Structure 1
């Protein structure tokens, strides 16, 4: 099933109906959740019971953002202790990848972003160094190979750009590197790359919601949060009321979040 088909299949409830209307017009659901609303309807397969004492304004991050990035490192890549990682994109999900790489014991975590304002928090969360591709005249994958001598053990593309996905793959170790696609590419996009990048031994993986079986895993992640095993609270930069949702999107697009 393509990503486009996946989204379309969850625009309606499993019974092929929509429970939302606006001024008489049918409104589609989003992934059976549709949480940009005061009340919602969802199938029981999309519901997970979590700790009653969990703060909803914090553990909401486990619905996708934190669990997606953290799981990409822990579950999909299975980052090994002492390894070198590169994280392309230091938004909330990319920073969650950094947290996961650190938790897995990576000894070197290189954060990559064109927004240098992201670097301080990335370092606070475990990045050992941060670089801006715009500071170099050569392709970023060549920079990473030179920095490491052979390429990174694991790379994560957490932006959703096909050109960056190819660069992330090329930045991996020639014969043993693993590249994980975390960012969602534009629907209908195509990617072009040199097949020799895989022929020599690299591995390319996709990671959807961090590889978790969410109905079972989200309650466990929330329990881990309550036990202070990890702290995604540091990813929250603003808390806004629902009537300022558009302001929230403006902050998102400006990179000030």
Structure 2
């Protein structure tokens, strides 16, 4: 028997959960327009866009953004290549140790970032590799690969293998079948997985702390600025812009992969 009380209870809990998740973002939005130079003066005494103009004059902000964009782009390309190839290799092929290999492949996304960061740092030090752009990119690619792999596998499960067999029956080679049949069906999943991987790499902090060199990414720049009280209003502006930028690819990825 349906109960209106239980329905309202579920709706209330859902609304409370949404408020809990998004209330900090609302606070950052308010502080970004606060007229006070004090970092966390509440309630705000007025609203201004002055901090946005000051942020636009800071070269270090654009350098950090550019560095993060480069890392995210390279990590995403690596993830698209390795993640899609791994998904195609593991989906229909059965071999001894397949489950173990699959577990090892998806493990980086389940491990705490500090564990992944420490492991990578130890590996790089043992190999004599100097932390820098390459080490950050490798660190980000470890979990970006999983994102692409999961998206591609999910799509492969919804593709009928009959179209592949039909392609072979019509005389197409394996390469032609992949290019004209499989790849078009994977296009949206690859694009969505790439967008998610890019967003995760762009704002990754924990792994970056252990693998970064002297040039900071944007999340590291934000973390360093919190120790400078006079720069906190500008930091709030940058944090707001980062949230908006990372939100767009996630929303676009959701729209591409949702069932219509």
Structure 1-normalised TM-score? 0.24
Structure number having the greater helix percentage: 2
Larger RCO, structures 1/2 (Cα 8 Å, 6+ apart): 2
